[in-house]
Amino acid sequence: MPDILTRRQREVLDVILKYISENGVPPTLSEIRDAMGISSLRGVTDHLDALERKGWLERTGTKGAARCWRVTTEEAPEPEQLAPFASLPLVGTIAAGIPITAIEHVEEHVAVPLALTGNATECFILRVMGDSMIGDAICDGDLAILRAQSTARSGDIIAALIDDEATLKHYVKIGMRIELHSSNPIYAPIPIQHENTRILGKLVGLMRPYS
């Protein structure tokens, strides 16, 4: 019995099965990328490698060759073989330090365990840059999982858009004043001016790639 698939991996497998059914051969990496809306061929190969490890695909040629995959079973995964994951959009890079220009397009979709989202579906991912949140163990390169919302409570860690630039900070109320605070003491608080600032979401989880 092949191993459990994430929903995104199942979607890739479905694309391959459909293409083989219609064309008699497996799709190329570029065809899978275009069908899935994945931004890079590396993202496609990561999914294919995972499907191979889990026993759903078998390589029939050298690595990197076109149409070199064979589906080991045409049976659709049972519901229990689908892990409780959500496919969330990675929408760009967010500054944890000096704000940088926000990237407004989806780079790719990332499979995220629902346990990291609190079962919330309206979530997105931003890549952290810098060290201003290091006191909260949020490091450069981390993937910040945020629940989309436009309000926050004092103390929440939020993604805020200041003019056209995004940053990850603590939302802090001091009397009638609102500031964004880092957890690295070398960075000064950022006062909030409502006319040029909006809250994008609240931090609900964090993922850290080690490669």
List, by residue number, the catalytic residues. 132, 169
Q: Both tokens of residue 48?
A: 């294919």
Is residue 16 within 8 Å of 70, Cβ to Cβ? no
Angle at 20 between CA 16 and CA 25, to 5 degrees: 110
Q: Read off φ and ψ for residue 110, nearest 5 degrees.
A: -120, 130
The DSSP code sequence of 81-104 is GB-SEEEEEEEEEEESSS-EEPP-
Q: How far apart are the C-alpha atoms of 192 and 114, rounded to whole Å?
A: 32
Distance of CA 174 to the CA centre of its chain: 33
